[in-house]
Every structure is written in structure tokens, then in C-alpha cells.
Amino acid sequence: MKRIFTLLFILGVFFNSKAQVKQVQRTEIQLESKDENYHLIPIGKEGLMIFKEGESISRSDDKNWEFIQYDNNFQKSWETTVAIDEDLFFSRYYYDELSVAPKIYILFNRYKSAKKELLVVDILTKKTVRKTFETPKKFSIQSFKAYNDAVYFMGTIKKSQVIGYYDIQKEGFLQIGVEKGEVLKDIQVRNREGLVDITSLVNHNKKQGIKLNSFYKNERKSSLTIHPEDSDKEKLLDARMTVVNDEKIIAGTYTTSTFAQGLYISRVTSDKTDYIKYYSFTEFANFFKFLSEKGQEKMEKKIEKKKAKGEDLKVNCRLLLHDLILQDNQYILLGEAYVPTYRTEYQTRYVNGRAMTYTTRVFDGYLYTHAVVAGFDKQGKLLWDNCFEMGDVKQYSLKHMIRVNVENQIVKLIYSYNDHIFTKVVKGNNVVDDKNREEMDKKYEGDKHRAATRSSTAYWYDNYFLAWGDQRIKNKEDKKVDRKRSVFYFEKIEY
């Protein structure tokens, strides 16, 4: 009897850990034209915000932008229109959920202009504030973060790196000094302390270092540069940082040639480097699992052949890193591998009456091959790694496709693309639930999804994710529905 109970308990744990995807709810908004683009911002348990560019205002240089907030059951809770200069276009956003008063900061740019605009939306009071500010000329903003009306920008002026600061209350843009050759890599808001940490890579007398800056408002509170020992062979490529109590954990990619060869992790305590450890992808248990069985066998033979010579096989992987996650006393790093693809175009021209054929190599998007996720303990030891096969995703601009939720050492991975939701569940080196492909829900029974664009996914709250994008749909069966329609959709996914 005891054996039966034990077996049932084990089976229960196994099946509970095999996460099932449930598409809880779907909302569609019919698109009136090809130029109509909705943008979506997840705001946790407060729901979500969608917005789009509206019609021009007569006798004005402004356009009305429409904003709608939905609660987490997809019921409209608030909507408004805001007049925005028609020369402005949406650039990016940041949701400050750590402040006492959570706010959305939406950045609008002008082509070839130093003038920019921030629209600040207070989630609790529903008030909106427009702030126009001017940056240095040719300042290209790559990312920004905000906390309690203090906004920090990372970007470039020509080839030089720049940190910018803008105070919503006091107004006025400040440029914060960056040393020559410094390459900005990461910007993080520290939990409710009001501190912002900026991580960059520097070179001092041909010796590479990691520079850690902490700011409060426009004041630099601390600045530390660490020079990893024994890094003659390894050159750091990227860096992500998180702060835990008095410890700063930095992780990223390194190279021994051009592109990523593996991951590194380092810990800094009391301005001293406790360790920096490098792990080649050739040491990983599952890094090459995206290949076919024959491909994996060939790769293993190549790795062993190099090892016999005392060398490490060059991997040269391009990896798009996510933020570092602290969960269950582990540091978890996720990266999406990609390769640029090209196509050949042929053109026929007539020269002196004779037909001449020319070929042109044209960029054809980034193909995502797979994602790697790895867990480290507090001493920087690589505990496990796993792989999420992709290979079906192509984007013309790089963006994070995969979203992750970690709970009780169970890592749930998910992305949406071309009318489908893809998932995989891992625990350490083991696969709990292999890659699944599920078609997105249909609003009407006769719907047939013909095409999808701008597919996006985000972790929302608790065990819910959001998927959204544009779809073209045909329906020949339901008489009350248009035979063809184009929609902006968003779905609530329990996972």
C-alpha cells in the first residue's frame, strides 16, 4: 500500500509540473486600414494599456492619440485621447511599477531633431502629462528606465556612448559623463531604493574592465571598475547586473574570437571581486540540442577532437541576452541565439542594347535558432543549462521573443509567432514538458488565420502571460461575420 501511495505521489508531482497552456480570453479590435498600428503595454494586475495614433486635429499641428486601459479580465476601465504633435512618432516605453505611484513613460521622437517628448500616464489617478525636452544633437536613444519621475537614458552621439538624465518635475536634460571607449551595456532600477545601476565595459591600458555606476537622481553615488583576472584569452561582450543586499552579480557573454563563446558570471562584494568564472558553450549539457541527432553527434566529435589538442571548439554564437533573474537561490540567465540571413536578388539591365544580369545580396532578417537558459549558484558554479529550440522565428529587427516565469525551480518558457504559441518546461538539465506548438484561439468557429505580424508575448502577473499582434482572418462559414477581416488581438494565457 505504501508503494502505491509513493508511486501516486510521484506521478502527481510529475503531472502537476507539466504545465498546460490555457488560452483564457481573447479580444479583437478590427483594423480600418493597413496603417493602423496598436501598441500594447502590460501593467501587471492593473491590466494593460493599448494606444494608437488617431486623426489629425483640424486647425492644429497635433494628432489625437487614443489610449484605452483594460483590466485583467479585458474589461475597459478607462480611455482618453491626448493631443501629440503630428511630427512625433512613438519610439519606446517604460513601465515604472516600483514607485508608490506606478506610471507609464512613453517616448516620442522627431526625425532628425533633438526635441523629444515624454507622455507620462499615472495608472492610479489616470492623469496624463506631456513633457517636451531637448537632448544633445544626434543623440540616439537605445533604452531608458524611470523611477519616481527620474528618467535615465542610454544612447550614442555618433560613435560615443552617452548617459542622459531628465527630471520630470524640475525639467531640463543633463548629459552625464562617460569615459572614452566606455560601452554601456545595462541599466537597472534597484527595488524601491531609488537607485539606478548602469553597467558598462571599459578598456584601461589594453586591460578590460567592468564599470559599475550607481545614481540617485542626477548624482553619481558610487563608481567602481573591476578588472577580471586571467582574462587574457576571454574578452567580455555583454553584461547584465543585479544587486542583492551588498552583493553585485554581473553575468554575460564572452568571446575568444568575434562572437559569443560562452557565459561568465562574477560577484562583487565591498568593492572587491569575489570571483569571475567562464563557461564555454562546449561544456554545456544541452546547448546543441537544437540540432538534429546527427548534427549533435558531429558537434560532439568536433568538440572532442579539439579537446584532445588542448583547444576549445570555436562556437561564435550571436546571443540576445535577457535580464538576470534571481530565483530559488539561483541566478538564471536566458539568451536567444540568432543568425543574420540574406537572399540573392537578380536584376536585368540593358547596356549598349545587351541584357546584363546583376546579383545583389539583400538582408533577409534575423533567424532565431534556439534559446539557452542556465542556472548558477551563489558561488558562480554552473548548476544546469537547457535549450529551447526555435528555428521558426524570423525578425527584421532584434527583440526578445521568449518570456519566462520561474517558480520552485520549474522554468516555463513561452513565445508566440505566426498564429501559434510555443512552450517548453524545464527543471535543471531535465525537460519536464518538451516543446509544444498550439494554435491560437479563434473568436468564431469558422475563422481561419491567414497571416500574422508583430507577434509579441510578455509575462503579465502570477501565472498569466499576454500574447498580441495583428492577424488577417478569413471566415466563409459564419454569415454574420465579414468574410475577410484584419484585427489587432490580445490573449490572456494561463501557463
pLDDT of residue 13: 47
Angstrom distance (rounded) from CA 475 to CA 489: 16
Residue 453: Cβ within 10 Å count: 10
pLDDT of residue 192: 74
Of 199, 100, 193, residue with least CA distance to 154: 199
Give exposure, 266-296, as e/b (b: 16+ Cβ within 10 Å): bbbeeeebeebbbbbbbebebbbbbbeeeee
Taking the CA of residue 43 as centre, how many other CA atoms within 13 Å lie in the half-sphere pointing to its CB?
26
Angstrom distance (rounded) from CA 266 to CA 238: 13
Taking the CA of residue 113 as centre, how many other CA atoms within 13 Å lie in the half-sphere pointing to its CB?
13
Beta bridge partners of residue 389, listed in sequence order: 370
Cβ proximity of 64 and 83 under 8 Å: yes
pLDDT of residue 3: 52
Check the CA dihedral 161-396-393-444 and report its sign. Answer: positive
Tell me the pLDDT tens digit for each residue of 445-489: 899 998 889 999 999 999 999 999 999 999 998 888 899 999 999
Q: Give residues with Cβ within 8 angstroms of 171, minimum separation 6.
A: 131, 133
How many helices (DSSP H) and strands (DSSP E) are in the chain?
2, 34
pLDDT beneath 70: ranges in the chain: 1-19, 230-232
pLDDT of residue 228: 79
Stretch (H or E) spanning 262: strand 262-269
Residue whose cell numbers read 521558426: 392
Give the distance from CA 488 to its chain's centroid. 21
Stretch (H or E) spanning 342: strand 330-351
pLDDT of residue 5: 45
Cβ proximity of 288 and 299 under 8 Å: yes
Taking the CA of residue 118 as centre, how many other CA atoms within 13 Å lie in the half-sphere pointing to its CB?
30
Tell me the pLDDT tens digit for each residue of 54-112: 888 877 788 999 999 999 999 999 999 999 999 999 999 999 999 989 999 999 999 88
Q: Look up residue 100 and give its three cell numbers.
A: 508608490
Stretch (H or E) spanning 78: strand 76-85
